[in-house]
Amino acid sequence: MNKIQAKKRIEELRKQTEYYANKYYVDDNPEVSDFEYDMLMLELRNLEKEYPEYISKESLTQHVAGKVGEGFKKVEHKIPLLSIQDIFSIQEIIDYVNKITEKANQENIENNNFVVETKIDGLTASLEYVDGVFVRGSTRGNGLVGEDVTENLKTIKNIPKKLTENIKITVRGEVFISKADFEKMNQERLENGEELFANARNAASGSLRQLDSEITKKRPLDIYVYNVQEITGKSFNSHFEELLYLEKLGFNVNPVKIFCKTSDDVKKAIEKIGADRDKLTFGIDGAVIKVDDLNFREILGTTAKNPRWQVAYKYPPEQKQTKLIDIVCNVGRTGVITPLAILEPVSIAGSTISKTTLHNEDFIKQKDIKIGDTVLIQKAGDVIPEIVKPIKGKRTGEEKDFEMPKICPVCGALAIRNEGEVATRCTGTECPAKLHRNLVHFVSREAMNIDGLGENIIETLLNKNLISNIADIYNLTFEDICSLKKNGTKFASNLINAIENSKQNDLFRLITALGINHIGVKAAKILAKKFKTMENIEKAGVEELSTIDDIGPIMAKSIIEFFEQEQTKDLINKLKLAGVNMKSQNEEVGGDQRFDGKVFVLTGALEKYSREEASSIIEKFGGKVSSSVSKKTNYVLAGEDAGSKLTKAQSLGITIISEEKFEEMIK
């Protein structure tokens, strides 16, 4: 490779690594495996070493990957949270240890020892304590500035809120999700038809960096602390001594820490961790070799990106070949149909693999996977088995292309893939696979609004075989509901009343409750107002639907396909027999159409009305409520802390009204 070629390749690698690092560290949505990324970084590092004139401070070899996300308060790290230099061969590790030993002899360091620890596959966090009380926590960010995630970190049980000593200390740790919890999370996502987390590290990162701590609270996050960043009134001579003290304070400390004296000891420690990694309850992506003497660390110093007193050995991913026997489909709770690869059982990374997800139709086509292929598989992040690629050289010609089913494998309803989506979905309203999810949506506040009929009650009704489809809700008896709770008389009475009252709901609520793809509350109201009855909607054609404002071709197609299904016809018939209202009550509410042709946008917090209440009033008087400001907007109803919508309305010269003015308009 000449200099011109080297420069071009270095520039290509910088763009690639920057893009992949951003997807990994910022978006929590990696596009390549850790190994592929590591190999790109290794190539870049080697080229920059060979051609130092092309080294740039913009290169990821020179600075820590990661950024501070929007929506978070910034935290400046007093002690930079640097990354670790990765090494991919045992010989390089031996050379590193020998080089450090030689330097120790030159500096007359008596206790030249090392500590080898597991490199936990998670997200770095800094924890600050004052007088032994947890006061602030942050992410690494770009190493110099991180994100304030204090409230989210407080949801992690293994982070002590109060230490055993009243001390001022800042520590560094790794937030992670255990293997068992990660598998459970992804299994639930698979059942719900949600996209699977790519690996445990990104699941942990995405969970910790939520703007809503209530979401974080629901995720099974854990932490291991492994370093003292800063401490007041106390000093240590060795890293190992620090770790023992951290345990005494009440921290959950990295459980794997092996004390070593020689390069041979370090080599054996790395091999032991490698041999035991399948037994660990948490995922790792390497072993970290650290200089133990803290004074010697000061002498060794750091580069702009890495401390010279530690390196990480990255274990190569274990890969095996096996036969892809078949591809079957699983239907999740949302109706998403997910292809699963059935494999000849093969042992990899300590467990026997016989099946793995193939995600979606595009994934299979992009990798050119066929039924009958010999495939290369590996375990991603020590947890998820994944197909890396088919071994095309082993094809015999008997392999078969896979096609996504046109009908649901569970209920036989039409299976469709909408334009712009990767998922194929079952359209059946009575599909057993999605029944629980459909029931929860049907009774929800924005739909039929049956107060008291929550997820847990629905689960119990299904388990007791008291309901087997949506319409069965209206066949429940007082005795059925009483049996769900001890002393449940009052509960049963209230729920029976709520179910009975829901029969009188406006047509738009029933349309919303049916869960038609792409049809939310707004579109349901438009349909109810336009067609007046459920029967008219069932008879409507694509052209008629497409000409309605806010109902485009995609929504029209979705409506037609939904009402063509036998399951839909069966369900609507059952609901009619149960006495559920099938007519629009829009005209009965009042003939006053004072807002006819007027478009409103709501922004900020209103004092006297919820958004839903204000929207209902506007629509009752014939007006429309839009979610965005445009030239077609007539009024912007602005409450407290109105934001960008108010600013845009002002720039367009749109009439801004207060809550008081709104009340005058609706008198």
Residues 414, 406: contact at Cβ < 8 Å? yes
Tell me which amino acid residue 204 is.
Answer: A
Listed residue (594, 603, 584, 614) closest to 656, CA to CA = 603
**What is 534-573 written as a DSSP string?**
HHHHHH--HHHHHTSTT--HHHHHHHHHHHHSHHHHHHHH
Q: How far apart are CA 31 and CA 16, in angstroms?
A: 11
Q: How far apart are CA 40 and CA 65, in angstroms?
A: 14
Q: How far apart are CA 502 and CA 401, in angstroms?
A: 48
Residues 488, 496: contact at Cβ < 8 Å? no
How much is the CA Rg of the chain, to the nearest whole Å?
30
- What 3-state class would DSSP assign to 226? strand
- What 3-state class would DSSP assign to 374? strand
Q: How far apart are CA 277 and CA 294, in angstroms?
A: 28
Q: How far apart are CA 90 and CA 545, in angstroms?
A: 67
Residues 458, 476: contact at Cβ < 8 Å? no
Give the distance, in angstroms, between the CA of residue 239 and the centroid of all CA atoms in the same chain.
35
Residue that is written with structure tokens 């699963």 in the block: 340
For 435, residues 6+ apart whose C-beta sits below 8 A from its C-beta are 462, 468, 469, 470
- What are the structure tokens assigned to 597, written together? 């042709």
Residue that is written with structure tokens 């038809």 in the block: 193
Residues 113, 292: contact at Cβ < 8 Å? yes
Q: Which of 3, 57, 78, 119 is catalytic?
A: 119
Q: How far apart are CA 533 and CA 582, in angstroms?
A: 6
Cα angle value 100/106/111 (rounded, 5°): 60
Residue that is written with structure tokens 């369900």 in the block: 571
- H/E element holding 153? helix 150-153
Strand partners, 290: 115, 310
For 235, residues 6+ apart whose C-beta sits below 8 A from its C-beta are none
Maximum C-alpha span of the chain: 94
119 in active site: yes
Q: How far apart are CA 647 and CA 251, in angstroms?
A: 48
Residues 93, 313: contact at Cβ < 8 Å? yes
Residues catalogued as catalytic:
119
